[in-house]
Structure 1
Amino acid sequence: MAKPPSKRKKATSAISNNLKATASSAEDIFNPENPASATITVTAAEVEELTEAEERDRLHLERRVERAFFEALKALAELRDRRLYRLTHKTFEDYCRDRFGHSRQKSNYLIAAADVYENLTTICCQNLPPEDLTTNGSQILPTSVGQVRPITKLEPQEQWEVWQTAVQEAGGKVPTGRIVKDVVQKIMERTKVPNTYQIGEVCQILAKDNPELRGKGRCWGIVSAVNDFSCTVKMWDGEYTIGLQHLKSFNYLPQECEEMQSLSDRISRVYSSALEESVQKFLESLGKLSRPYLTALEEKVLNVLELEIRD
């Protein structure tokens, strides 16, 4: 087969000439017979240092970025607590969905994250005002919800200890949510920190990497027993013992947990009556709700089914 045109030779020649020019100008060692053996010294460009005013501006802007995360979450909590949504929406959940595009569950996570941030700043810097916080040394603080979600259920002092350990494992930088979660798990396994779930709490089942939970992914259940590293969760078709890594709390309010407990009992009674398969599928769909209430139509259908089993 004929060789391709000589463009490749020209390109090689150009590279060789460039190497010669560079080596010559830099007074480096260069062997024309073997360009690959060339030793080229590259002088780094000098970076202009920050002035005192620029350094102050940098620190001030960093503090604003750090505080933005916290201020947004505190504002959300105040909107909820003062019911400032009442003129346009009946519930906080509807308001959050329409105004910010997220569910009440996410809102609860955000508000819980604000409490964690406040706990960390209080314990870490009791003698410093919030505006003096900087991301250096022991004053590294969270910048996103995912970083503090694993510790929202811990006591304030435990939150601080976990956060400090996570910062160390992250090399003195802001740790990821995964690092924080791993630290929590290690501490629980090593020191047997009490299970933070409570009886009556509503949790979602995370079936990933657990074949025993196949078919239960995204289902919700009520915690009926709290063990060292697991919870017994009551669902519409029975009770299951599930490891903490496969549970996620919905962070419902106490009244909402009671309502979900009542709903679980209602679904269980109808489900155990062995009605048609289509009915069972409907009940199973209710078992995957990510909200603490039924719609008007869902409530009507469930009422009809309850009347059916009574008759």
Structure 2
Amino acid sequence: MNSPPSRRKKATSPASTDSTSVASSVNEDISQQEDPGSATITVTAVEVPELTQQEQSDRLHLERKVERAFFEAGKALAELRDRRLYRSTHRTFEEYCRDRFGHSRRQSYLLMDAAVVFDNLIEKCDQFDHILPTAEGQVRPMTKLEPQEQHEVWVKAVEQAGGKVPPARIVKNVVQQIMERTQVPNTYQLGEVCQILVKDNPELKGKGGCWAIVSAVNEFSCTVRMWDGEYSIGLQHLKSFNYLPQECQQMQSLSDRISRVYSDLLEETVKSLLQLLGKVNRPYLTAVEEKLLSVLESEYAER
């Protein structure tokens, strides 16, 4: 007859005993508290050292460099243009900026215009409590205003921004209010060559960056002639190329030549080429462009 199996005690390791003991202790501590959620957690504070006087000076110096980056760029570009320091490698300032900096003509001139406005604001720096623009877009809306009006715009924009550097949106709104109040006169002249600024105007879609010639000067707009007809455009959507009278005449001649060839019935490739010629931001054609236009004139002008 077989004897019944003996019952052996399961051995318990010391580690298991210790962990059980710790868990029991924790449970016992929690059970003794009336509200476990009221347990206090002690956090050791990490002290952040204050900046030294030298570090504060370095910080201010670096902040000023960041704030003035676009201003310094605009001043440098203006000097490069005025002294024609590009002449050893490039025929025009526009070609130089495109090859050297990857700038379009508009980018370069926006930076130069912004630097002029920044210079005007620096004169009243104390009045603004040393709050100055930090980006080109913040001063762009002010470029058409007189220096005193620029000061007024900046003071009001800083106030509306709660004493901080105002975003471009606020500056633009203040400029619009002042323009409506003062009714800034239309200073464009017949025959002047302007660049089309599309901004938020869907009616000018596809015309951004194109040049146009002023054919009529209205109170708050200009009638301009482009390769495919005439358009009435608000002053906020125009920017003068500031060409010399002789250069304006050259562009007038170019406009007449393109208009004589252009037609909605042309092949798309031909229309695209003529439209590209309508965007050249210089008062002349290159040798290749001249040959292409001459070929199109001989092929289509008499039709």
- TM-score bin, normalised by smaller chain: 0.7 to 0.9
* Residue correspondences, number: 266
1:268 aligns with 2:283: no
Matched residue, 1:204: 196
1:79-228 alignment to 2 at 5 Å?
79-122=80-123, 124-125=124-125, 137-195=128-186, 197-199=188-190, 200-206=192-198, 208-210=200-202, 212-213=203-204, 216=207, 218-228=209-219
Runs of at least 4 residues off by over 6 Å: 42-46
Change (3 A) 1:97 1:22: farther
CA deviation after TM superposition for structure 1 residue 25, in Å: 1.0
Unaligned ranges ≥5, structure 1: 1-16, 28-41, 126-132
Match among 239, 251, 259 for residue 249 of structure 1? 239
Using the aligned pairs only, state the percent identity.
64
For 1:164, give the aligned amino acid: V
For 2:295, give the aligned amino acid: V
Matched residue, 1:25: 40
For 1:56, give the aligned amino acid: S
Q: Tell me how far apart the structure 2 counterparts of residues 44 and 182 of structure 1 sit (CA, whole Å).
A: 46
1:229-248 alignment to 2 at 5 Å?
229-245=220-236, 247-248=237-238
Change (3 A) 1:198 1:172: farther
Provide TM-score, normalisation by structure 1.
Answer: 0.70
CA deviation after TM superposition for structure 1 residue 280, in Å: 4.3
Structure 1 vs Structure 2 CA RMSD: 3.4
CA deviation after TM superposition for structure 1 residue 191, in Å: 3.2
For 1:159, give the aligned amino acid: Q
For 1:169, give the aligned amino acid: Q
Change (3 A) 1:69 1:216: closer
CA deviation after TM superposition for structure 1 residue 116, in Å: 1.2
Cα pair 1:260 1:293 within 8 Å, conserved: yes
Unaligned ranges ≥5, structure 2: 1-29
For 2:56, give the aligned amino acid: E
Q: Tell me how far apart the structure 2 counterparts of residues 262 and 166 of structure 1 sit (CA, whole Å).
A: 44
Cα pair 2:213 2:226 within 8 Å, conserved: yes
Matched residue, 2:25: none
For 1:206, give the aligned amino acid: V
For 2:112, give the aligned amino acid: I
For 2:198, give the aligned amino acid: L
CA deviation after TM superposition for structure 1 residue 151, in Å: 1.6
After superposition, what is the alpha-carbon deviation per residue over 1:192-237, rounded to whole angstroms, capped at 9, x for unaligned? Answer: 2224545413121527453x44554554322233333322111123
For 1:57, give the aligned amino acid: D
After superposition, what is the alpha-carbon deviation per residue over 1:123-159, rounded to whole angstroms, capped at 9, x for unaligned? Answer: x14xxxxxxx7xx944321222211122222222222
Q: Tell me how far apart the structure 2 counterparts of residues 237 and 88 of structure 1 sit (CA, whole Å).
A: 36
Matched residue, 2:75: 74
After superposition, what is the alpha-carbon deviation per residue over 1:105-125, rounded to whole angstroms, capped at 9, x for unaligned? Answer: 322221121111111112x14
Provide TM-score, normalisation by structure 2.
Answer: 0.72
